[in-house]
Structure 1
Amino acid sequence: MFENALKKRLREGKTAFGAFSVIPSPETVEILGIAGFDFVILDTEHGPASHETLQELVRAAESRSLTPIVRVADSRPSTVLRALDVGAQGIQVPQVTSLEEARSVVAGSKYHPLGRRGLAIPRSGDYGAVPTETYFRKSNEETLIVVQCESLEGLKALDEVLTEPQIDVVFFGPFDMSQSLAMPGQVHHERVEEASREVLRLARKHGKAAGTFLLDGEEAQRRAEEGFQYIAISLDATLLFQACRRELVRARESRCPEE
């Protein structure tokens, strides 16, 4: 039975740094933990991991004190259930655009009386070692719910969406928002920045943590200073590429004999 260190950190008003993971490798997830990240978002929306592999990625995160969050592909209760049953300590749902959808996410993530998540004794319940009443209660207390706001439709509905009390974090998606604003990829355009500020404002209004995605540590620092708490710095594949490319460029710039 897990205790969610990330949820505790956010409730204390602290900033947490994580990264997305799309490489279906437990070793890669472990490296993120060793590097010092607070959480990892295991991405099943865009990543190729199978459900069986997802369970191993969750185990790898736990082994390095890295809170495992799963970004699901959709908000269906069956999708949410499968991610939580393998041990995800939180669920992150893309493109939430209505209060009805937010309530559906909560219903699929929480047990009675907060929801109607399917009853079982899965890995997340220590396979029955924990008394069922304790497991259901602790799961309701510790599971983190993150909804993404990444379109104009979602932004217009956000004030209402955040009235759902079981939502913990609203996550601003700058790339999809830029596309919704008909300027795909221009994530630093003033209109995208304006949307980011509005998400942060509404999060504060409703007592939620605000999250966002960015590509480097310098911007992460800036967003933290603005008030974002749940900050995803790039993704494992991009971080690996950048490290490889940087060292290769350094090597080729050295005074090596020409081949």
Structure 2
Amino acid sequence: MPAPANSFRHALATDRCLYGTWAALADPLSAELCARIGFDWMVLDGEHAPNDLRSILAQLQAVAAFACAPVVRLPVADPVLAKQYLDIGAQTLLVPMIDTAQDAAAIAAAMRYPPRGRRGIGSALARAGGFGITTDYLATADAEIVLIVQAESRRAMADIDAIATTDGVDGVFFGPSDLAADMGLIGQTGHPDVVAAVERGIRAVVAAGKPAGVLAMDPELAGRYRAAGARFIAVATDVGALVGGLKARLAQIDSPAEVPQ
């Protein structure tokens, strides 16, 4: 019995653009709701959301029945964390703050079994290996693993060609917020210089034969990045949808009742 097919990997092999959302509420019910909407993929965020290994596991279990592919973001490019997240069943990892090809190579090696990499062998104990029931897991797992590295600094943009062509890197995701901050334009993800930098980065990744992705909450920017060649674009967050929906509902009320003192 082989490792499960990674639907995100196989979707990236098609020509269509994949649209995703961000799950940051760190809750299985919220993640399940997001998975039911119809997005192609979703990020379970371990960097800026209050998640840990067990809460990510619960969310992976909650979304497993749906077509929306889970992408798990590590809090940091740590080989031990990568091993643990793979063992609980994550097949696509999004790794933040990758500044150089050396950074990319190190995390790529942590995600593949020897001789290609140095991922530790523990599948007989792990959910990823079906707790030992998936008998061919060790021989087939690497083919279904996806590593997406995040380029979100000026240094990363300067080394983008080498990062994109690093063995084991399956795609590059651009983080406009951190990039804008590093460019001295904090909070200005729509600034022309930031947008131009992201577009150049997307084109470089596409030229290297790898899929490029980006977070773009603004539909106009999402369209620009798709035109530049982005293949997977995050266009929403659960937090943003909840806040936006509640604010819009409140705005519909002309005279809200006063809260009793």
Under TM normalisation by the shorter chain, which class is it?
Answer: over 0.9
Give the alignment of 1:21-100 within 5 angstroms.
21-100=23-102
Which whole-Å deviations, capped at 9, do the CAs of 1:148-198 have from their partners, x for residues lacking one? 111101111111112213211111110101101101011111110121111
Answer yes or no: is the 8 Å Cα contact 2:160–2:205 preserved in 1: no
Answer yes or no: is the 8 Å Cα contact 2:152–2:178 preserved in 1: yes
Relative to total residues, which structure has the larger helix share, 1 or 2?
1
Match for 1:154 among 156, 166, 178?
156
Match for 1:101 among 100, 103, 108?
103
- CA positional deviation for 1:4: 1.1
Q: Which residue is 1:123 aligned to? A: 127
Structure 1, gaps ≥5 residues long: none
Match for 1:235 among 234, 237, 242?
237
- CA positional deviation for 1:136: 2.1
- SS at 2:158 equivalent: helix
Q: TM-score, normalised by structure 1?
A: 0.92
- SS at 2:129 equivalent: helix
- CA positional deviation for 1:257: 9.4
- SS at 1:161 equivalent: helix
Q: TM-score, normalised by structure 2?
A: 0.92
Between the aligned partners of 1:66 and 1:44, the Cα distance in structure 2 is: 18
In terms of mean alpha carbon deviation, does 99-108 or 214-223 score higher? 214-223
Q: % of aligned pairs identical? A: 29
Answer yes or no: is the 8 Å Cα contact 1:89–1:142 preserved in 2: yes
- CA positional deviation for 1:217: 4.5
Between the aligned partners of 2:131 and 2:230, the Cα distance in structure 1 is: 36
Between the aligned partners of 2:243 and 2:256, the Cα distance in structure 1 is: 26
In terms of mean alpha carbon deviation, does 204-213 or 12-21 score higher? 12-21
Q: Which residue is 1:114 aligned to? A: 116
- SS at 2:215 equivalent: strand
Between the aligned partners of 2:225 and 2:155, the Cα distance in structure 1 is: 23
Between the aligned partners of 1:162 and 1:184, the Cα distance in structure 2 is: 25
- CA positional deviation for 1:7: 1.0
Root mean square deviation, CA, Å: 1.7
Between the aligned partners of 1:89 and 1:15, the Cα distance in structure 2 is: 20
Which whole-Å deviations, capped at 9, do the CAs of 1:61-85 have from their partners, x for residues lacking one? 2122221111111112101111111
Answer yes or no: is the 8 Å Cα contact 2:151–2:157 preserved in 1: yes
Structure 2, gaps ≥5 residues long: none
Between the aligned partners of 1:225 and 1:149, the Cα distance in structure 2 is: 19
Answer yes or no: is the 8 Å Cα contact 2:94–2:147 preserved in 1: yes
- SS at 1:63 equivalent: coil
Match for 1:17 among 16, 19, 43?
19
Q: Which amino acid aligns with 1:197?
A: E
- CA positional deviation for 1:90: 0.6
Q: Which residue is 2:4 aligned to? A: 2
Answer yes or no: is the 8 Å Cα contact 2:23–2:34 preserved in 1: no
Which whole-Å deviations, capped at 9, do the CAs of 1:94-114 have from their partners, x for residues lacking one? 111111111111111111232
- CA positional deviation for 1:234: 2.9
- The structure-2 alpha-carbon separation of the partners of 1:130 and 1:12, relative to structure 1 and needing over 3 Å to count, comes to same
Aligned length: 254
